[in-house]
Amino acid sequence: MFSLGLTSLLVRRNLLFVLMSLEVMLNAAGLAFVVAGSRWHQADGQVVFLFILAMAAAEVAVGLALVVQIYRHFQSLDVDGLDEMRG
Amino acid sequence: MELAFYIAGAVAVISTILMLTRMNVVHALLYLIVSFLAVAVDFYVLGAPFVAALEVIVYAGAIMVLFVFVGMMFNLGQHAVKMERQWLSPGIWSAPALLAAVLLIEVVYLAKGSTGAIGASVIQPKEVALVLFGPYMIGIELASMLLLAGMVGAYHIGSRQAEKPEIQHDADTHERRADTSGDLVLAGAHQPSRTP
Amino acid sequence: MVSLLWLIPALPLASALVLLLFGPRLSRGAAAAFGVGSIGLAALTTILVSSSFINAPPAGNAYTQVLWTWMNVAGFAPQIGFYLDALSLVMVLVVTCVGFLIHIYAAEFMIEDESYSRYFGYMNLFVASMITLLLANNLLLLTLGWEGVGLCSFLLIGFWYREPANGRAARKAFIVTRVGDTAMLLGLYLLFTRLGTLQIQDLMQRASAQWRPGSGFAVAAALLLLGGAVGKSAQFPLQVWLPDAMAGPTPTSALIHAATMVTAGVYLIARTHVLFALAPAAQTAVGVAGAGTLLLAGFSALTQHDIKRVLAYSTVSQIGYMFLALGVGAWQAAMFHFLTHAFFKALLFLGAGVIIDALHDEHSMFRMGGLRKELPVAFWTFLIAGCSLAGLPFLTAGFFSKDLIIWSAWSAPQGHPLFWIAGMAGAFLTSLYTFRLIFRVFFGPVGTPVTKRPGYAMTIPLVVLAFFAIVAGYLKGPFLAVMDSVLPRTVEAHTGLTEVSSEVVAALLFLVGVYFAWLFHLRKRSLAEALVANPAAHALHEWWFAGWGFDWIYDKALVQPFVWVSQINKSDFIDAFYTGVARLTDLLYRGLSRSETGRVRWYAAAMAGGSVLFIAVVLFL
């Protein structure tokens, strides 16, 4: 799942899709943690998943706010158009 | 039980793939929600009911809903779909897929050799809570601060008025900045002469 | 008193440091006080030291004062030590006293120059280096002084550096003397590796103990030292730099290129005369070089029209006489001629300076004339010096010293009639070109008018030097007696010519020369023009004017090939290393800046790629 998320992150140009694939990747990582916790019969895996969840929530909030601003500014959601900070 | 795990896992993977390849944003979002729900089932089967509930409530319920709101807000119609079709030629998938495949192989190689029964033990929410408020106390506090920061940041970013259309930055000097496209080194070299 | 020896080089050196470090902040008066005063004090010290030395001679007729050991490396321990004997005493006396007079002259001559203190700084540094050279007790310290005078010569010739021609002349002087210096250093290496020391006195003893007369090492070492002497003293084949060195200020020409630096070569050979006595082939080479040079320079002096260039070629010629004396083994005669030459040549240059200054920078004698009424002091002192140079019998010092050399050229053990003939021919030429100069400048119709007259600071040294130019000749007896303690007296080996008869011939040639000069340059000047108009004579005239074409030969044979080689090697592989570094950096810059696209997906791909690599490294290594 992580690999899928990574692939889609690299391919898609729509900002929203980029964020979505980011969520996929996070979810996949969390899944890995939970599986590990279950494997060794510890609650820690679930705890980590909780933290990942909190982090994803915060990130989505900020990220979507940024997306809204970008849309207002550039009138498009093309990620490649956001390349002003180039060397 | 194991069968349920594998079926839910397959559903998750398939709906993720479907999500990736959609042209329409809202369709893709819906597929993503399905994927998350499948993962929640996986969690339950693994013996982690607490995170399963969390996954559904928070991830699929709050975060995805946020996505859906924003996606709908943008009201991207047929034009966006056409753009997506343009952007996504099959050839584009090759290099990232290769990269991700290599990563996959490496991770699988690393993870091989550890097997265990699925759903052998169920970890009750009470245990999770004990661990959370015990050793991981500080993590809780930090996470809450992170959420607070995220909230404040999102509010501020979202509330800013749309800026005026992009103009040249040295509007106060009535000059056009030279186009030093991409070349930091030469950026200072082509200054047009100032009239005294 | 003798222990004050170290002050003699130290005072000018200290003054030079002050002048060069604080020069721009010093006023004219202060700079002159330092510059002239230090030499004056050095001269005073020299007189005190010499009176003490002569009245109470130390053991072995030599006084050594060691200041400290310069370095001590694997048993090689040269010292900063001074060695005073009659030879170095005489030379130091001349350098400091004549130098003092020249500095007084320069204090007025250079008064309008804006780099006044820089000038005196360089002059003092020169005097300090020269005295170090003369007093050195080992060849390494002598080389230090040698290099120092070469440096100061470069700095002073190119003093007015804003004029490119002056810089070129300075470079030429330095490079040519460098060729000689290299030969000298090779000689030093040879001496050190064969004999194990560079202390001059020890060296001479070991050389005479270990090397048979005529042995290869002795000849090689002597020839190499001769190479160095030839460079510094502007003899054949390295004489090309001295005429161009006249681009420097006149007091510099007087001090360096007449009285002192150019005699460093003579001093070197006299100091190491034991070595030369062991190598007759080399000694003959010295004599031949001297004889050849004196004739070569004499002919060239006859054709010049810049008065300073005439005097420059004259200097080359007179030092040729000194080399001739050294070559035939007349060591004391050479030193005596050095003494008289210092007086009258410095006087000639200072007088020329007065003339040039008075005529507002006019150098060509063909545009001068009738100055004997306008500049009387300059005229009489110049006349006295000119007569001394040409050898006016019995009244001038030059007569005594030059005739001693010419007679020794016949009579000394290594003497030869050919040397005598060369010396006599040279005397005739000397008389001819000297009086050509005098008649053109001081007699005849007035040319360029006089716009400035010299002050006391410029005339008093002239008078003092003129006095010595006459009187020094009468000191021949006592002088030779003093020299006995350090240089062997020349025995009369070849008979057939008495000293008196040689002097008579010389006097006759002097008079003939004056007559011809009077005829061609005063009585019927048209004769001179007619002589030059003849095509064969004209070609000869041009050839002698260009210094017998040596500049042209050296340019074609040495300079052009060297420049050509350096041009084709301009971007050699060592340069490629440095430009390669720059090019590599540029390449990296371009590559890396291309990777900064500003696109998120590109960065994410880079991260993914990096993590893949990293995991691979962890897994497989």
Specify which residues C63 forms β-bridges with. C84
| pLDDT tops 80 at residue C408 | yes
Instruction: Give yes or no for B107 touching C (CB within 8 A).
Output: yes
* Nearest residue to B154 (alpha-carbon basis) of A81, C197, A65, C307: A65
* Nearest residue to A49 (alpha-carbon basis) of A61, A62, A58, A36: A36
Question: Tokens representing C39?
Answer: 């030499």
Q: For residue range C423-443, what is the model confidence (pLDDT) as tens digits?
A: 999 999 999 999 999 988 888
Measure B141 CA to nearest chain A CA, in Å.
11
Instruction: Give yes or no for A39 touching B (CB within 8 A).
Output: yes
* Nearest residue to A6 (alpha-carbon basis) of A27, A21, A17: A21
Q: For residue range C120-149, what is the model confidence (pLDDT) as tens digits?
A: 999 999 999 999 999 999 999 999 999 999
CA distances from C79 to B33, B84, C129, C293 (A): 96, 90, 16, 36
| pLDDT tops 60 at residue B64 | yes
Give the per-residue pLDDT at B164.
54
Q: For residue range C299-325, what is the model confidence (pLDDT) as tens digits?
A: 999 888 899 999 999 999 999 999 999
**What contacts C120, CB < 8 A, 6 or more positions away?**
C15, C19, C31, C32, C34, C35, C36, C103, C106
Q: Is C64 in a helix, a strand, or coil?
A: strand
CA distances from C103 to A80, C36, C245, C463, C560 (A): 82, 5, 19, 15, 40
| pLDDT tops 90 at residue A70 | no
More confident residue, B162 or B68: B68
Instruction: Give yes or no for C605 touching A (CB within 8 A).
Output: yes
- Given an 8 Å threshold on Cβ–Cβ distance, is A62 in contact with B107? no
Distance separating alpha carbons of residues C231 and C143, to the nearest angstrom = 13
Longest Cα pair distance anywhere in chain A, in angstroms?
50
User: Nearest residue of A to residue B187 by CA position?
Assistant: A87
Question: Tokens representing C112?
Answer: 């309008």
Determine the average pLDDT of the residues in B85-101: 75
pLDDT band at B141 (very low <50, low <70, confident <90, very high): very high
| pLDDT tops 70 at residue C11 | yes
How does the average pLDDT of chain C come out, rounded?
88
Question: Tokens representing C15?
Answer: 């003054």
Torsion C422-C428-C433-C437 (CA) sign? positive
Give the per-residue pLDDT at B170.
45
CB-based contact C181:C149 (threshold 8 Å): no
| pLDDT tops 60 at residue B172 | no
CA distances from C613 to B96, B100, B129 (A): 15, 12, 38
| pLDDT tops 90 at residue B37 | yes
Distance separating alpha carbons of residues A22 and A52, to the nearest angstrom = 12
CA distances from C171 to C156, C164, C176 (A): 11, 11, 8
| pLDDT tops 80 at residue C256 | yes
CA distances from B196 to A36, B172, B188, B193 (A): 71, 15, 19, 9
Determine the average pLDDT of the residues in C185-199: 89
More confident residue, C293 or C370: C293
Report the share of chain C in percent with pLDDT over 70. 100
- Given an 8 Å threshold on Cβ–Cβ distance, is B67 in contact with A20? yes
Q: How far is CA A26 from the centre of its chain?
A: 6
Min mean pLDDT across C43-57, C421-435, C436-450, C520-534 is at C520-534
Determine the average pLDDT of the residues in C221-233: 91
Measure C613 CA to nearest chain A CA, in Å.
15
Specify which residues C76 forms β-bridges with. C73
* Nearest residue to A3 (alpha-carbon basis) of B134, B17, C234, C351: B17
Specify which residues C31 forms β-bridges with. none
More confident residue, B116 or C5: C5
Distance separating alpha carbons of residues C314 and C312, to the nearest angstrom = 5
Residue among C593, C605, C616 whose CB faces B106 most closely = C616
Sequence length of chain A is 87
User: Nearest residue of C to residue A14 by CA position?
Assistant: C601
Determine the average pLDDT of the residues in B62-74: 87
Distance separating alpha carbons of residues C417 and C422, to the nearest angstrom = 9
pLDDT band at B185 (very low <50, low <70, confident <90, very high): very low
DSSP class of residue C4? G
| Interface ipTM | 0.85
Give the per-residue pLDDT at B163.
56
Spell out which residues of chain B touch residue A57, defining contact as CB-CB under 8 Å. Answer: 58, 62-63, 147, 150
Distance separating alpha carbons of residues B56 and C430, to the nearest angstrom = 121
The reported pTM is 0.69
Instruction: Give yes or no for B106 touching C (CB within 8 A).
Output: yes
Give the per-residue pLDDT at C428.
92
Give the position of tokens 């004259």.
Answer: C314
Give the per-residue pLDDT at B119.
60
Q: Is C63 in a helix, a strand, or coil?
A: strand
